Amino acid sequence: MKKIKINDDLIKIVISTILFFCAIFVSNNTLKLTFLILSYIIISYELYIKAIKNLLNKELFDENFLMILATIGAFYIQEYKEAVLVILLFQIGEYLSDLAVNNSKKTITNLLDLRSEETNIIVKEEIIKIETKKVKIGDIFIVKPGEKVPLDGIIISGKTSFDTSSLTGESVPKILSENENILSGYVNLDSVVKVKATKTYETSTASKIIELIENSNEKKAKTEKFITKFSKIYTPVVVLIALLIITIPTLIGLSFDEWLYKGLVFLVMSCPCALVISVPLSFFLGIGRASKEGILVKGSNELEKLQNIETICFDKTGTITEGVFEVQRVTPIGIKKEELLELVAYAEYYSNHPIAKALKKDYPKNVDKKNISNFKEISGKGISATVKNDKILVGNAKLLEDKNIEISKSTQVGTIIYIAKNQKYIGNILIADTIKEESKQIVEALNKEGIKNIVMLSGDDETTVKDIAKKTNILKYYAKLLPTDKVEIVKQLSENNLLAFVGDGINDAPVIKLADIGISMGKVGSDAAIEASDIVLMHDNLNKIPIAIKISRYTKKVMKFNIVFALLTKLIVLILGVFGITSIWMAVFADVGVTLIAVLNTLSILKKKLY
């Protein structure tokens, strides 16, 4: 059982409660009143301070002001016990609500406690513990079993398994060894590994994730904005109605004290506490739940929009497919195979594209950089470079066609790379990519969520894209696209519906930014794609998209229940108050109860089984 944390608020509540019960059980009226006044001062003085501060900031109509107004009215009509009980119940409710909210926020913070403040770096073969903020790119550090990885890096020695669940939501440990990348926030489970830092504390994956979550509340959803506006209009209107409840009956000769009491009941019950607390908390917990699943949502606006997505566009390479290419066939024309591979390896030397890596991997010798000049990457087409004084073009058919070079197009299924030397076509290379396992189920999973319009976009040739679309049951696809073509297609597809685009590469950044919801791959995705996106899939698992949609919809469902429940309950109690069936303290109890039920219901977002 968790211990209750004793703080100033709890101490004030306990002392005030003791004094209140002392007042009930003593018979001396003077002593009774003294106990009640002391109880009232102890429990309410902070409300007065807050109300005065709000008054100075021109924010008059908040719950502090309403409670003070109600209790002053109760004192006026000599309902001293009720005056104290109103504030006491209100403060108990506030304390319990804050406790629930703070505990939920602490849960999220613990889930995202990814950073390690200290790092064991190696200096002159000695291990020195220093602040992680002081570690530079290129420094060598070790990670012992049980420790968090403090910085992104590459393993230079050792092999171990890592718990990646904090980042990716995946429960199965990941085994990594030499020359493999690790991310800050991973937890080493088995053996010591030596790592070379590739990012600083500020630019590490863990820091970026925490920054995203901390800033997520800045981008408010429409529901949040509506509740804020609603509260600003609602509270003054209710105060006005309360005044009318008091004044109109009094003007026609009815008892002032009786109708003042009814007006105060109405006033107290009007506090929109449940709405003001539960709506932002719902979004915060929804974002936290998504983070727990390895899905980073950058704001409540994005979480709310996700539930209404009608169209999802997928980039092909690195998203639907693994993005890991292998050379399947080399077709030289008027040149030896080894010479063709050499020219391609030299031309692609400075490129980090997955296709370039596959082409370079097939050339076994070292590349002499002195023989490379005029390197140029042509977006969506390929590479142009000068190799040993020969102008080499390596890319898709469009690259060579634009230079008026005749080619014989291949009909093989896969990515065909065409090569030209000094304006002459000298052959092609067939490269094949592997379809991700989850890509074969993603269409069915999204269909279950009501998303029928699924599209694949690719710069690859028609034959390859058609083959992958068929294998993944994607009915609509576009091939031979440049980055600008993707932008135009996304514009067209999103004209009459909400559209999400899923991509991984730097070429996808403009489209990710343009889409209503941009989703990027966090594991292999480029920094540009991650920066531009609204949602980041930390494990590059497409199955996380339906889960994100479920979280979004459940969060909205919880909010709707809270809003309807709060307003309906308040309406019933308000009506009962006007007819004199309820009292001020019962109105406060109802308000506090509604708020607590709303908060507890909101906490289910973290626990609800969604799949």
The amino acid present at 188, given as its one-letter code, is N
- The residues of the chain scoring below 70 in pLDDT are 1-6, 58-64, 66, 93-94, 96-115, 165-172, 206, 208-232, 235, 268-276, 505-507, 523-530, 577-578, 580, 588
Measured distance CA(431)–CA(414) in Å, rounded: 6
Domains 284-322+435-552 and 326-432 share a fold: no
Q: Which long-range contacts (CB under 8 A, 24 or more apart) does 155-160 make?
A: 155/179, 155/180, 155/181, 155/182, 155/193, 155/194, 155/195, 156/194, 156/195, 156/196, 157/193, 157/194, 158/191, 158/192, 158/193, 158/194, 159/191, 159/193, 160/188, 160/189, 160/190, 160/191, 160/192, 160/193
Using one digit for the tens of pLDDT, what is the confidence trace for 399-448?
A: 998 889 988 877 777 788 899 999 999 999 888 878 888 888 899 999 99
> Strand locations in 191-310, DSSP E?
193-197, 295-297
Do residues 420 and 335 lie in contact, with contact meaning Cβ atoms separated by under 8 Å?
Answer: no
Pick among 3.40.50.1000, 3.30.230.10, 3.40.50.10800, 3.40.50.300: CATH of 284-322+435-552: 3.40.50.1000
Q: What are phi and psi of 403, to 5 degrees?
A: -95, 10
Closest CA to 158 of 179, 173, 137: 179
Closest CA to 80 of 26, 112, 35: 35
Do residues 574 and 269 lie in contact, with contact meaning Cβ atoms separated by under 8 Å?
Answer: yes
The pLDDT assigned to 1 comes to 36
Measured distance CA(482)–CA(484) in Å, rounded: 5
Domain residue ranges of the chain, discontinuous segments joined by +: 118-203, 284-322+435-552, 326-432
The pLDDT assigned to 241 comes to 82
The pLDDT assigned to 453 comes to 92
Closest CA to 305 of 243, 230, 221: 221
Closest CA to 144 of 128, 167, 160, 165: 160
Distances (CA, A) of 373 to 334, 358, 367, 391, 452: 24, 21, 13, 9, 49
pTM, 2 dp? 0.67
User: How far does Cα 310 stand from its chain's mean position?
Assistant: 20
User: How far does Cα 479 stand from its chain's mean position?
Assistant: 31
Pull the structure tokens for residue 543: 């199955």
The CATH classification number of 326-432 equals 3.40.1110.10
The pLDDT assigned to 4 comes to 47
The pLDDT assigned to 84 comes to 80
Pull the structure tokens for residue 460: 């690859």
Residue 315 annotated among the catalytic residues of the structure: yes
Measured distance CA(396)–CA(407) in Å, rounded: 11
The amino acid present at 242, given as its one-letter code, is A
Pick among 2.70.150.10, 3.30.43.10, 3.40.640.10, 3.40.630.30: CATH of 118-203: 2.70.150.10
Measured distance CA(283)–CA(220) in Å, rounded: 9
Residue among 139, 163, 315, 504 flagged as catalytic: 315
- Helix residue ranges, H only, 383-502: 397-402, 439-448, 462-472, 483-493
The pLDDT assigned to 112 comes to 52
